[in-house]
Amino acid sequence: MRNLDKFLSLEVDKINGEVFMEISEKMVEGIRVAYIECRGSYERIPEYISEVAGWVLKNGLQMTGRVYGTYYNTPEEVDEEELLYEIGVSIAGEAEADERVKIKNLPSHRVIAALHEGPYTEVGPVIHALIEYAMENGYEITGPVTEVYLNSPLEVDESELLTEVQIPVKRSE
């Protein structure tokens, strides 16, 4: 049986000539999240993160570490005002959702993932490389791209931002 946490190395030579990227296949544990459904420009993402975090604290919940964005379409597919995504944080505790901030349980699921270091605006090639990797290696993509933000632009320089890009997958039959 294959180890789901096994690291798979991939040399990606289609991004800026010579970029080396480590792609891993892993299980993401199920979590409870508070999130906002968003529409429009990605420029408002920092504002949405602050809004969700503020709501969590105001409602006596604890943030448990994961700050994420899940993207249901892309600027390549639709106009900016039609972009659909959700911004959320993992939580512990109980609270009632409201009209703006929702709560849900995300189930455990398998992903392929890669780490991006640098500005959020430059994550696109990593997403494309993961999609290509999935197609070339017998994976079926089972859901939208999620970016997990591992640090904050309030704490580090833009060039040091770390984002784990995850794409949910299953092995093709």
Name the nearest CA neighbour of 8 among 146, 102, 137, 151: 137
Assign domain 31-106 one CATH number from 3.20.80.10, 3.40.50.300, 3.40.50.1100, 3.40.50.720: 3.20.80.10
Provide the residue ranges of all domains of the chain, joining segments of one domain with +.
1-28+108-173, 31-106
Mean pLDDT of 20-45: 94
Whole-number pLDDT of residue 8: 37
- 100 or 7: whose pLDDT is higher? 100
* pLDDT tens per residue across span 78-93: 999 999 999 999 999 9
Residue 19 binned pLDDT confidence (cut-offs 50, 70, 90): low
Q: What is the CATH number of domain 1-28+108-173?
A: 3.20.80.10
Asked whether this chain's domains 1-28+108-173 and 31-106 adopt the same fold, the reply is yes
Output the pLDDT for position 38: 98
**Which of 15-19, 33-37, 89-93 shows the lowest per-residue confidence on average (mean pLDDT)?**
15-19
For residue 171 the two structure tokens come to 């092995």
pLDDT for residue 15 = 42
Q: How confident is the model at residue 65 (pLDDT cuts 50, 70, 90)?
A: confident
Whether the predicted pLDDT of 127 surpasses 70: yes
- Round the average pLDDT of the chain to a whole number and report it: 88
Distance CA 8, CA 26 (A): 10
- Can you give the pTM of this predicted structure? 0.86
Residue 10 has pLDDT above 70, yes or no: no
Q: What is the pLDDT of residue 34?
A: 98
Confidence of residue 154 (pLDDT cuts 50, 70, 90): confident
